[in-house]
Amino acid sequence: MLTNSCNWDGLDKLRVGRFGEYFAKMAFTRAGYDVYSPEVDDRAIDFVIRTCGAEMRYLEIQVKTVRLARSSYVFMRKKHFPISPDRYLALVTLKQGEEPELYLIPLTVWADPAAPFVSRDYEGKKSDPEYGLTASAKNLNQLGTYRFTERFELAD
């Protein structure tokens, strides 16, 4: 019997990230999509899915996993993950005592970002330009339109 199934505090950062990747892959698999994992993850792509509709497409998915016990900032470096209609951020949120939630956010959101989405160029600074998102229990309602469900269909 699992008594700590929603005890996210007991996981270290590596396990939280790995859990999120597997959770997202299983959500897509359960929804009927084909999921492909790269042998090497050096392009900021955690997996690729194949859609099966009128037009078959391959979509690149980057997974970020956050615990909602506190506000978390997630980002993707622009040089590794340029805006494209075929790229998505899969955000997995972990709230203590609750089942995980999955949000699927198209990278095109960052073409003209509005809070909680940000685009930072860091001109004249050491940090690389990035697309970011502040994830917290307070702003989850702003992400509601991106909630993944079993009936989720990707727009062509």
Region 11-17: what's the mean pLDDT? 86
**Would you state the pLDDT for residue 156?**
44
pLDDT in tens, 52-61: 777 888 999 9
**Would you state the pLDDT for residue 153?**
62
pLDDT in tens, 90-145: 999 998 888 999 999 999 999 999 999 999 998 888 889 999 999 887 888 888 88
CB 118 within 8 A of CB 27: no
Instruction: Give the pLDDT band (50/70/90) at residue 4.
Output: low
* 147 vs 42 pLDDT, higher one: 147
> Looking at the predicted structure, is the pLDDT value of residue 1 above 90?
no
**Would you state the pLDDT for residue 27?**
94
CB 85 within 8 A of CB 108: yes
**Would you state the pLDDT for residue 150?**
52
**Would you state the pLDDT for residue 12?**
83
Which domains, from first to last, does the chain contain? Answer: 13-146 (3.40.1350)
pLDDT in tens, 31-75: 889 999 988 766 679 999 998 777 888 999 999 999 887 788 999
Rounded Cα–Cα distance for residues 18 and 33 (Å): 20
pTM, entire model: 0.88
